[in-house]
Amino acid sequence: MPSLIDIRRRIRSVKNMQQITKAMKMVSAAKLRRAQERAVASRPYARIMQRMLSNIAAAAVGNEEVTELPLLQIRDEKRIQLIVVSSDTGLAGAFNANLLRMAQKFVDDHSGADLRMETIGRKSRDYFRKRKYNVSGEYVGIVEKPKIEQGREIAAKMIEAYSKAEVDAVYLVVNEFKSVMAPNLVLKKILPVELPAEGGEQIDYIWEQSPKELLSDLLPRYVEMSIYRAMLESLSAYHAARMTAMDAASSNAGDVIQTLTLNMNRVRQASITREIIEIVSGAAAAA
């Protein structure tokens, strides 16, 4: 049985850990609010851009010039580029584990294709490096403060590779922010750009440029926005997951402290009882 000193030392250690987890929860809660505001603010822009693409696609039906645009070319997926957006740090429960499990499933399902990995975040980079996958690019340290310039840089690389037919498809795996309790794992294709289907409410635009010129400008922006939004959504989902994980850790630490305190009281009670018995036995022997 451990001594009172050992138990007190462990209680003090667990209390220190609980203070750290509570502080980390508060930090993530503050960061989550700012990250969530940025992620939510980007969604209307993406929706409007999709609507514009839908309207332009409806206006360009039968236009051969539009179908010849490089980013709309559909090819057999023999060479695939996978972009994985993870976090740089852990302590967020199953946030990265679930994401990497989905990415690994995608890799297993496309084992016959030539796969290249573009990793955003240290966790995804380390995962694919360790398993000797073809990592074509890595971006570490940009997830905590994502900027549109970074999304534009990655998008330009993907667009160039696709336009030159170096890859036949580009997929994106990311944790999108859904709620504080659970993120939403998303796997989507960003190249070739799949124009929204016709139908629904259409806006009657007056076109000053041809659909080809408009799409030539909008399609790269759409890819840039998709990657930038992925980083914003991932950051929000990460802080939500970390806040939840630290809250659970603080609660578990409280349970451990309570259990250790009960054990300490039992050990102290046993020690007092033993001392009383020794005193009584000594007195009886002296008599």
What is the pTM (predicted TM-score) of this model? 0.82
Q: Which CATH number fits domain 34-242: 3.40.50.720, 3.40.50.300, 3.30.930.10, 3.40.1380.10?
A: 3.40.1380.10
Residue 157: name the closest of 116, 217, 107 by CA: 116
CATH of domain 4-23+245-281: 1.10.287.80
The structure tokens listed for 118 are 């573009």
Query: Tens digits of per-residue pLDDT, 170-226?
Result: 999 998 887 777 778 889 898 888 766 555 555 566 677 777 788 888 888 888 888
Residue 189, classed as helix, strand or coil, is strand
pLDDT digits 0-9 by tens, 141-176: 888 888 888 888 999 999 999 988 889 999 999 988
For residue 192, whether the previous peptide bond is cis, meaning omega lies within 30 degrees of 0, is yes
Contact between residue 73 and residue 163 where contact means Cβ atoms under 8 Å apart: no
Q: Share the mean pLDDT of the chain.
A: 84
Q: How far is CA 90 from CA 93, 194, 242, in A?
A: 8, 34, 8
Length in residues, the chain: 287
**Residue 173: its pLDDT value, please?**
93
Dig out the tokens for 151 from the structure.
Answer: 């999304």
What residue spans define the domains of the chain? 4-23+245-281, 34-242
Residue with tokens 């250790």, as numbered in its chain: 260
Which pLDDT tens digit goes with each residue over 70-120?
A: 888 888 889 999 999 999 888 888 889 999 999 999 999 988 888 999 999
